[in-house]
Structure formats: structure tokens, C-alpha cells
Structure 1
Amino acid sequence: MHFKGIPQKQHVYADYSYVPLVLAAPVLAGFRYNKPAAYLCQGFALSALSYSLCTKAEWGIWKLIPYRIHASLDLASGVLALAVSQVPAIKKDKPAMLTFLAMGLTGLIVGSLSLIAAKRH
């Protein structure tokens, strides 16, 4: 069995579901009054939206960033979200910490699987 990863054409579903979920996370998970966590969610969501719109892929509006760079940014975003989950203002707020852990794992998984698929082409 050969593992194919996430093809570029399907990656769009991960991107455009991640953005609204991360924007809504402070309300959905119950940490909207934790301003640092809420602002960081906005930053993660807006940065993902920005580089998604600028990717050389079917869904990109401005074709500036190669898809492999986009997938690498997803991976880096995952690493950063995992690190943010350990910042004291986030770590002491369990819903916020768990949200950033989930964001981090999502970034690691989606980024890695997308890079696997990109390297096959």
C-alpha cells in the first residue's frame, strides 16, 4: 500500500474550513474573554487565509506562492500553534490550550500530508 497524502485539489477543504473554525474558536470553545488567545486565533486564521488566497493552486486568487511553500507554511503554523499552547496566558486556560493543541496537530498533519502529495508530482 502506497500512501499518497492530501492532493492539492483537496487541500482547499482543509484551508477554507480551518479559517472560519479558528476565527470562531474563542466563542465555540468558551475563551472569548481571554484576549491574548482570541487575538492569536484571529492572527492564525487571517494569516492562513492570506497565504491561501496567494497560493498557486486552483483556489488561489493571486498566484504568488508555490503550493509546496503553502504546505510548508501550514506545517510551520502547526509548530507555532503547539508552541503557543504552552504560553502561560494560554496554558492556564484549558479550552484555549486545547484549541491551540488541536490547531497545531491539524497544521502538522495537513501540512505533512500535503507535502507528501506535492513531492509525488
Structure 2
Amino acid sequence: MIPTRTHAVLDYLTGALLIVAPYLFGFADGTIAQWLPMLLGTVTIVMSLITRYELSFSKIIPLNVHLAIDIASGVLLATSPWLLGFADRIWWPHLLVGLTEIIVPTLTRRTPTGSLA
């Protein structure tokens, strides 16, 4: 199982990657293909700042809620190229990060270490 501290680090890294991915991988074209990952990246970082785990600023959101939102976000991101009609231009970053956003929460411990449980 992935420790919650590791999950938190991955959340911040994934959020940042989603925000810069359109520029790194050449799909910063002002369409939903660009804005969806940037929005989900921002949501991931903000949610991480207020989740009840080790590396958050404020302990508001229960970890199980956070993990469920991660999975839902991953499903949306992974399927978005086909659901939203841009798979002919770009699809692989959305699919790969989306699948990661589904797998990582599935393998993450359900209780933080220490007194945060």
C-alpha cells in the first residue's frame, strides 16, 4: 500500500504536472484539451492543501473523500479526449495521467500515519 505521505507528494507533483502539461507537450491551444488538465491540476493542489493527511495546510477533507475525488478526476481525465472530442489532436497525456489518478488512490492506505486518523 502507498503511504498517505507519499500520496500527498504525488498529489502535489501530479497537480503541478497537469497545470504545465499543455505547455510541455504542445497542446496549449485554448481548448478544453488544455483547460481540463489545468483545472484538474489546480483542484488537486487545492484539495491536497485541505485534506486530512500529513502534508496539508488545513485538515478539512477526510482522506476517503479525497481519494474518491481523485478517482473521479482520473476517470474524467482518462476519458476526456473521446468524451469531449479532441482525441484526434491529443490523448496520451490525459489517458496516462488519468489512469495514474485511478490506480494511485486505489493503492493508497485509507488512514494517515499518526494522530491524523
- Name the TM-score, length of structure 2 as normaliser: 0.86
Q: Unmatched 5+ residue regions in structure 1? A: none
Superposed CA offset, 1:25-59 (max 9, x none): 11111111252211112111111112111101111
Following superposition, which runs of at least 4 residues in structure 1 exceed 3 angstroms of deviation?
Answer: none
Q: Which residue of 2 aligns with 1:49?
A: 45
The structure 2 residue matched to 1:108, chosen from 89, 102, 116, is 102
What residue identity is the alignment partner of 1:118? R
Q: Which has the higher helix share?
A: 1
Is the Cα–Cα contact under 8 Å of residues 55 and 65 in structure 1 kept in the other structure? yes
What residue identity is the alignment partner of 2:110? A
Matched, 1:61 2:53: no
* Whole-angstrom CA distance in 2 between matches of 1:66 and 1:17: 20
Q: Which residue of 2 aligns with 1:98?
A: 92
Q: How many residues align?
A: 112
What residue identity is the alignment partner of 1:100? H
Matched, 1:35 2:27: no
Q: Unmatched 5+ residue regions in structure 2? A: 112-116
* Whole-angstrom CA distance in 2 between matches of 1:21 and 1:107: 12
100-109 or 83-92, which deviates more: 83-92
Equivalence map 1:69-88=2 (5 Å): 69-88=65-84
CA 1:54–1:105: 2 relative to 1, 3 Å: same
- Name the TM-score, length of structure 1 as normaliser: 0.83
RMSD in angstroms over aligned alpha carbons? 1.7
What residue identity is the alignment partner of 1:79? V
Q: Which residue of 1 aligns with 2:114?
A: none
